[in-house]
Every structure is written in C-alpha cells, then in structure tokens.
C-alpha cells in the first residue's frame, strides 16, 4: 500500500499562459500537455521532471476549488499527489488508519488517471492526492 513515487505536485496559478512560460524557463523543458477538467473547473498544464510531473492549475470559474484556493491563500503549491498501484485498496487502507477522505471512491482526473483526495485535516494541512493508472 506504499506509494511508489510522487506522481505530481499541483500548483495553483492565476494565469496559466504566464505560468507555462515561467516553468518552461525554470525547468528548461516544454509543457507537454494542456487539458481542461470540466468537473473540477480547472485548466491544467503538465511538465515532466524525471518521474514526477508539475501540474499547473488555473481556475476556469471563481467558485471552483482552485479559484477559492487562490482567493484564500494566493498562488502556490496546492497539493501533493502520490502514485499507488491499487487506488481502491489504498483508500480502504487509509480509511482504516483513521484518515479522512474527500473522495471515498476513485474518480477521473487529468491524463486519464484515477484519483482521490485525502482531507488536509488528517494530513497535517497538506492536501494529498492518491492516483493510479487503472
């Protein structure tokens, strides 16, 4: 049930185009995908750093989760995502260990991943995502 690696780091940005240009300079690598996740009200842009990705998140609506986050806390790191082999199993394991889940069932995230969030109340204030490729 141990995570295999950090799948991505999610970063809330106000202006995706400007943030893409910044990260292209910072990482020396082009953004390889831009994708809108309609039910999360976000537009995402991805970069690869070794096995880990940087996921830039721009809100498409002020009342979406990223819009609210930026209003409260400003731009910056939004969540950490760990890759697991068996997401439903990992969620059961976390719940049995007393973790509070935001998503009791896996749902579809960007890049065709199955994802689920743990509540930051039970993860020391860090919004934590678990994800798997199946």
Q: Does 10 bind Zn ion (CB under 5 A)?
A: yes
| Closer residue to Zn ion in complex, CB, 19/81 | 81
- Nearest residue to Zn ion, scored by beta-carbon proximity: 10
Minimum CB distance to Zn ion, residue 44 (Å): 8
For the record, the structure tokens of 74 come out as 């400003």
Cβ partners under 8 Å of residue 120, min gap 6: 126, 127, 128
Q: Which residue, 90 or 98, is less far from Zn ion as judged by CB? A: 90
Contact 83, 129 (CB under 8 A): no
Contacts of 75 (CB under 8 A, 6+ apart): 11, 12, 13, 14
Rounded least distance, CB 15 to Zn ion, Å: 19
Min dist. Cβ of residue 104 to Zn ion (A): 18
Q: Which stretch binds Zn ion (CB under 5 A): 14-22, 34-42, 62-70, 73-81?
A: 73-81
Q: What angle do CA 73, 76, 82 make, to 5 degrees?
A: 115
Number of residues that bind Zn ion (CB under 5 A): 3
User: Considering the rule CB under 5 A, would residue 81 count as an interface residue with Zn ion?
Assistant: yes
C-alpha triplet 16, 17, 20: angle, nearest 5°? 80
**Residues within the interface to Zn ion (CB under 5 A):** 10, 81, 129
């Amino acid at each position: 049930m141990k995570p295999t690696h950090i799948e991505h780091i999610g970063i809330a940005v106000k202006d995706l185009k400007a943030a893409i240009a910044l990260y292209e300079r910072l990482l020396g690598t082009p953004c390889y995908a831009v994708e809108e996740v309609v039910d999360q009200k976000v537009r995402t842009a991805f970069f690869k750093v070794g096995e880990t990705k940087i996921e830039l998140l721009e809100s498409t609506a002020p009342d979406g989760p990223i819009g609210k986050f930026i209003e409260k806390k400003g731009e910056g790191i939004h969540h950490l995502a760990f890759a697991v082999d068996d997401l439903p199993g990992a969620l059961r394991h976390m719940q049995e260990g007393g973790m509070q889940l935001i998503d009791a069932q896996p749902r579809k995230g960007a890049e065709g991943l199955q994802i689920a969030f743990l509540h930051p109340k039970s993860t020391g204030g860090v919004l934590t995502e678990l994800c798997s490729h199946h």
